[in-house]
Amino acid sequence: MTDANAMTEADTSIEAWISLADPDYSATELSAIEVALNRASQTEGHITKAFETSFAAYVGRRHAIAVSGGTIGMLLVLKAAGIGADDEVITSGYSWRQTAHAISWAGATPVLADIDYWSQTLSPEKGEAKVTDKTRAILATNVNGHPADWENLQALAKKSDALLIEDATESIGSRYQGKIVGSFGDVSVFDFSPLSPLNCGQAGMIVTDDDTLALKIRHFRSRQRQERASLTATLRPPLDAGISEITAALGLVQLQRLPEILAKRKQVEAWYQAQISSFEGIKPPYIAPGVEEVHWFLYTVHLGTRFSGSSRDALVDDLETELVESSAYCQPLHLQRAYIEQYGYRKGDLKVTEKVADRAIALPFHGQISEDQVAFIVKTAKDASINVGAGAAIY
The per-residue pLDDT for 39 is 78
The answer on pLDDT for 381 being more than 70 is: yes
Instruction: Please check whether residue 369 lies inside any domain of the structure.
Output: yes
Q: Tell me: do 199 and 296 sit in the same domain.
A: no
CA-CA-CA-CA dihedral for 166, 170, 172, 176, to nearest 10: -60
Q: What is the DSSP string of 44-88?
A: SSHHHHHHHHHHHHHHT-SEEEEES-HHHHHHHHHHHTT--TT-E
Query: Does residue 8 lie within any of the structural domains?
Result: no
Would you say residue 2 has pLDDT above 60?
Answer: no
Q: Report if residue 12 sits inside a domain.
A: no
Cβ burial, residue 299 (10 Å; 0-12/13-18/19+): buried
CA 298/CA 363 separation, integer angstroms: 7
Q: What is the mean pLDDT of residues 290-316?
A: 89
Q: Are residues 285 and 193 in the same domain?
A: no
* CA 69 to chain CA centroid, nearest Å: 11
Do the domain assignments include residue 140?
Answer: yes
Question: 267 and 217, same structural domain?
Answer: no
Give this prediction's pTM.
0.91
Q: Which of 202, 237, 256 is the last residue of a domain?
A: 256
Same domain, 276 and 332: yes
Residue 125 structural domain: 27-256
Q: Is the pLDDT of residue 302 over 70?
A: yes
Same domain assignment for residues 174 and 112 = yes
Question: What CA–CA distance (Å, rounded) separates 361 from 303?
Answer: 7
Pair (250, 301) in one structural domain: no
Q: DSSP letter for 270, please.
A: H
Domain end among 256, 284, 315: 256
In this structure, the answer to whether residues 236 and 264 fall within a common structural domain is: no
Percentage, residues of the chain above pLDDT 90:
73
pLDDT value at residue 12: 44
Q: Out of 204, 225, 256, pick the residue that ends a domain.
A: 256
CATH number of the domain residue 360 falls in: 3.90.1150.10
Instruction: Tell me how many domains the chain contains.
Output: 2
Distances (CA, A) of 280 to 302, 304, 319, 380: 14, 11, 21, 16
- Within this chain, do residues 32 and 89 fall inside the same structural domain, yes or no? yes
pLDDT tens digits along 170-200: 999 999 999 999 999 999 999 999 999 999 9
273 and 169 in one domain? Answer: no
Residue 43, helix vs strand vs coil: strand
Q: Is residue 182 assigned to a domain?
A: yes
Banded model confidence at residue 1, pLDDT cuts 50, 70, 90: very low
In a domain, 4, yes or no: no
